[in-house]
Amino acid sequence: MADSALSIRTIDESEIRTFQDVMAWAFLATPDEDFKWLKVLELERAHAVFDGDEMIGTAGVLSREITVPGNHQVPVGAVTVVSVMPGHRRRGVASLLMKTQLHGMHENGEAIAILWASEGAIYRRFGYGEYASSLAMLTMPTRMAFHPGVRVSDTRIRQVSREEALPFMREVHDRVRRTRVGWVNRVDATWDVQLADRESDRGGLSSYRYALHPEGYVVFRVKYEGDSSGPRHELHVRELVCETEQAYVDLYRYVLDMDLAGAISFYTAWDDPILHMVDNPRKVRREATDGLWLRIVDVDRALPLRQYSSDVDSVLEVEDSFCPWNSGRWRFTVKNGEATVARTEDPADVTLDAAALGSAFLGGARLSVLKRAHRVVEHTPGHVDALTIAFLGAYYPHCPEVF
């Protein structure tokens, strides 16, 4: 319940500096003249909470497109810069920001919202589902051999300047993101934010290196390591984006064969093909972490946005106290991959909350597993398994960037 002394509104240009300071203090960062996240902020979607005249909380929504199963690009509210000043926490400030954003999207906006969570215990209460996409932190030694069937082409890969790389990367990224479930589009300013390369962005590593293949690119930093036996640098891959499977193989080979490097690390898709490309998959260490958290803003608008893998006909009872317009029973029918959703009085086959539906929406978390976790209840035998198969896609959903 929000404190009655609190008020909320969007900010104007003159308040950006204060907005930035609140965010910085909340994230235990140092306020900075050039806080990179502000470059992508949309003022008309940037809310602040005030205690009297004092700004104490911030949150923004970025208007983006996300690729959903079926490779449709659909509008999504990308929630960012959620922060509350220390000393004003646990009195409902974040709840007020969340409610305002979701009401806004419900009335005049996107049918789904996504975010990255700084901590795992914050967002489920607001109806965001965990593991809507996941990330794998891969670490591997360099110079690993590929499995005999993996062919590396003789295409020349060129390391080039940032200026030369960027126009090519933008084009490749914009084509590739349309084919990858969970990827979001980038506006011009996103490139400055995502590939920010000031000294303070580098965490002690080198500046970014850019290597281009005619059908893809790789961006990485170098962490300088080694001892008296010689250099054993680590390559930290930031992104590896390819239009063809051949380019993916070639670019992986390029980084694996980098002289003076001993190891590679890469935050990538959970099902990154490298595990199956190398001759010794156990040498690739893989640690899982959650990626996107996804919120179904409107059940009836959201579910038909994507394609499904098989036909189903189930009555879903949705529990959603935070966005009560979603609560109740919905008949969810898929024919030839296309879904229709309509209110019904028929008895429920399956009961689940909005967060569970959000976790499953992109084909990330399986409803069958959520059932075993007591997050989904089956009333009519067989419906959860049928829904699980319908929601799954060919690949794990993946979002390669934190916004």
Q: Is 46 in the site for ligand COA (CB under 6 A)?
A: no
Q: Could you say which of 19, 40, 66, 83 contacts ligand COA (CB under 6 A)?
A: 83
- Strands across the sheet containing 285-290: 158-160, 209-213, 216-223, 233-242, 261-269, 134-141, 285-290
Extract the tokens encoding 235.
């390559």
Cβ 74 to ligand COA, closest distance in Å? 23
Indicate the SS3 state at residue 345.
Answer: coil
The smaller minimum CB distance to ligand COA, of residues 125 and 343, is found at: 125
* Residue 3 in contact with ligand COA, rule: CB under 6 A: no
**Taking CB under 6 A as the rule, does residue 388 contact ligand COA?**
no
- Can you point out the beta strands (E) in 52-125? 54-68, 72-84, 112-115
Tokens 């699980």 belong to which residue?
388
**78 interacts with ligand COA by CB under 6 A:** no
Give the residue with the Cβ less far from ligand COA, 90 or 156.
90
Q: CA nearest 136: which of 256, 275, 235?
A: 275
Does 5 bind ligand COA (CB under 6 A)? Our answer is no
Q: Which of 36, 39, 72, 91 binds ligand COA (CB under 6 A)?
A: 91
> With binding defined as CB under 6 A, does residue 93 bind ligand COA?
yes
Q: Which is nearer to ligand COA, 25 or 168 (CB)?
A: 25
Residue 143 vs residues 200, 255, 260: alpha-carbon distances, Å = 31, 9, 11
In whole angstroms, what is the distance from residue 80 CA to residue 89 CA?
18
Contact assessment for residue 309 and residue 389, using Cβ atoms and an 8 Å cutoff: yes
Write out the H or E segment, with its range, that includes residue 168: helix 162-176
Active-site annotation holder among 126, 210, 248, 403: 403
User: Does position 84 bind ligand COA by CB under 6 A?
Assistant: yes
- CB 273 → ligand COA: shortest distance, Å? 30
The yes or no reply on residue 26 touching ligand COA (CB under 6 A) is yes
Report yes or no: 22 and 56 within 8 Å, Cβ to Cβ.
yes
Using CB under 6 A, pick the residue from 3, 7, 9, 27 that binds ligand COA: 27
Nearer to ligand COA, 77 or 363 (CB): 77
Comparing CB distances to ligand COA, the nearer of 37 and 395 is: 37
* Residue nearer to ligand COA on the CB measure, 98 or 296: 98
Q: Which of 9, 17, 125, 158 binds ligand COA (CB under 6 A)?
A: 125
In order, the DSSP letters of 350-364 are: EEEEHHHHHHHTTS-
Task: Give the range of 81-89, 161-169, 207-215, 227-235 binding ligand COA by CB under 6 A.
Answer: 81-89
- Residue 403 is a catalytic residue: yes
Query: Which residues is 68 bridged to in the sheet?
Result: 72
- Annotated active-site residue 123? The verdict is yes
| Residue 68 Cα distances to 78, 119, 158, 291, angstroms | 14, 25, 33, 15
- Residue ranges in contact with ligand COA by CB under 6 A: 26-27, 82-84, 89-95, 117-119, 121-122, 125
- Enzyme catalytic residues: 123, 403
